[in-house]
Amino acid sequence: MKAKATPSALRVLLPVGIGTCLSLMGDASLYAVLPTQTHAAGVTVGVVGILLSANRFIRVVLNGPTGVLYKRFSRRRLFVLSLFIGALSTAIYALTTGFWPLLVGRLLWGLSWSGIWIGGNTIVAEVSHEGVRGRWMGFYQGFFFLGAAGGAAAGGLLTDGIGYHGAMGVAASLTLAGALLALIGLPEVERLDYGEPSPVGCRAPGNPRRQVLSLAPAAAAAFALYGVNRLVVAGILNSTLGLLLEGRLGAQIEIGGQVVGVATLTGAALGLSTLIAMVSAPVMGTLSDRAATRWSVVAGGLLPGIAGFGLLAGGGPLAILVGVPLTALASGSNQCLSTTLTGDLTAAGERSKRLGMLFTVGDLASAVGPPLAYALIPVVGLGGGYALGAAAFASMAVAALWLALRG
């Protein structure tokens, strides 16, 4: 019988999840408004890409050491400290102008997010056992997607209402509120581990070394799933969706008698995708808890992505309308299940290091994705790039089915 989550797990999930959600207010707002608010921010259009990607590149260096720190020191203190650093980075956006102060803020945000994301996933993985880990990891991913979608929407509205610096000030205040909530409400999680006897797949009697070696394909597949998801969704699709909409629909689209610009439509499509992923993650995580093996659910979750990228590769407006939500369903499933499986396949106490490695793979993939997509356009076109995305998801589905058949 599957064990139920304890109140202690819920007591941990809420402050960690809400803190993570509110921490994204500044970053998501900046992505949404900086390209059009360069004058207010005191920067040129040419450096926007550098500023928006600086945090991601520094995380490639920071994720590994951050995972080690979470193994050796108090998870609660490191997580809360990371939230306060996030509030400081967003306050820099609000209180300064110019390239160098913004760059410092973005680098601080990279440091902060490494601590928040590795720490949050580690904490949730450690206070949930195998029978409920998919559900709780899914809910935590839902907080992430809610923060990303809500931050972008609120940032745009606030910028139009009270200006760029005012919007960033509100975002910094919300991040600070999340940090204070975690400071007050998050218990010392080292005492809440369930102490499960072994990660999934290690229960059969036999040679211990053989059991460890048998986990290697599953661990590698979990890493590949996360990396492929970040590459083709966050890297390729998100960076080219505007071009796709403009090429297939035109620069302006009439909807219900109203003319809508392609930028507005792109933002709406990305926001809707994030909300779909927010729902998909906990649903697929819960299904994986009930399945005989999580890999069968991984394979099922990839099927909408294969279909979605296939539709985007060659379809018209209706294909885009259906294809984008399908890729979002797969994205939420992949992100939740890859982190859940990494938690399953790693011994307690080692998860922070392994998750740090996992997120480094994801950051590299999402950083490589946009330049790769634009390099492919002259060679295979947008449709060819999306076809490659479908092929990447299909290869992961085959691997997942193989692992599911192994039991």
Domains of the chain: residue spans and CATH: 1-189 (1.20.1250.20), 208-407 (1.20.1250.20)
Strand partners, 338: none
Q: How confident is the model at residue 304 (pLDDT cuts 50, 70, 90)?
A: very high
- Classify residue 233 by its DSSP letter: I
| More reliable by pLDDT, 283 or 374 | 283
User: Is residue 205 pLDDT above 60, yes or no?
Assistant: no
Q: What's the pLDDT band for 244 if we cut at 50, 70, 90?
A: confident
Picking from 389, 176, 381, 144, the residue whose alpha carbon sits closest to that of residue 278 is: 144
Task: Give residue-wise pLDDT tens across range 24-61.
Answer: 999 988 887 887 788 999 998 788 878 888 888 899 89
Q: Which helix (H) or strand (E) holds 69?
A: helix 48-72
Predicted confidence band of residue 202 (pLDDT cuts 50, 70, 90): very low
Report how far residue 77's alpha carbon sits from residue 188's, in angstroms, rounded to the nearest whole number.
Answer: 8
Question: Using an 8 Å Cβ cutoff, are 187 and 76 in contact?
Answer: yes
Q: What is the pLDDT of residue 152?
A: 80
Residues contacting 89, CB < 8 A, separation 6+ = 26, 105, 106, 108, 109, 112
**pLDDT for position 262:** 63
Q: What is the SS3 assignment for 196?
A: coil
Name the 3-class secondary structure at 256.
coil
Q: How many other β-carbons are positioned within 10 Å of the β-carbon of residue 401? A: 16
Is 209 exposed, middle or buried (CB count within 10 Å of its CB: 0-12, 13-18, 19+)? Answer: exposed
CA distances to 46, 103, 262 from 43, in Å = 8, 11, 25
Give me the pLDDT at residue 259, please.
Answer: 65
User: Is residue 331 within 8 Å of residue 305, measured between CB atoms?
Assistant: yes
Among 127-136, 216-225, 252-261, the range with the most confident prediction by mean pLDDT is: 216-225
What is the percent of the chain with per-residue pLDDT over 90, rounded to a whole number? 54
- Please list, residue by residue across 58-81, b when 16 or more beta carbons sit within 10 angstroms of its beta carbon and e when fewer do: bbbebbbebbebbbeeebbebbbb
Structure tokens at 349: 């106490």
pLDDT in tens, 308-340: 999 999 878 888 889 999 999 999 999 999 999
d(CA 280, CA 304): 11
Per the rule left: phi > 0, alpha: psi between -120 and 50, beta: everything else, 198 is: beta
* Torsion, CA 44, CA 47, CA 49, CA 53, rounded to 10: -130
Residues present in the chain in total: 407
pLDDT by residue (tens digit) across 167-180? 999 999 999 999 99
- Alpha helices, H only, 73-205: 75-95, 99-126, 133-162, 164-185
Confidence of residue 257 (pLDDT cuts 50, 70, 90): low
At 123-163, the pLDDT tens digits run: 998 888 878 889 999 999 999 999 988 888 888 888 888 99
Q: What's the pLDDT score for residue 68?
A: 92
Cα 140 to Cα 14: distance, rounded to the nearest angstrom:
9
| Location of structure tokens 């803190």 | 19
Alpha-carbon distances, residue 103 vs 54, 89, 107, 165, 355 (angstroms): 7, 10, 6, 16, 26
Of the candidates 224, 223, 232, 201, the residue with the CA atom closest to the CA atom of residue 355: 223
Task: For residue 209, name the pLDDT band (cuts at 50, 70, 90).
Answer: very low
**Could you give the CA distance from residue 127 to residue 133 in angstroms, rounded to a whole number?**
9
Q: Is the pLDDT of residue 352 over 80?
A: yes
Give me 313's structure tokens: 């590769």
Total Cβ atoms within 10 A of residue 224 = 17
- Range 199-210 average pLDDT: 36
The HSE-up count of residue 218 (CA atoms within 13 Å, CB side) is: 28
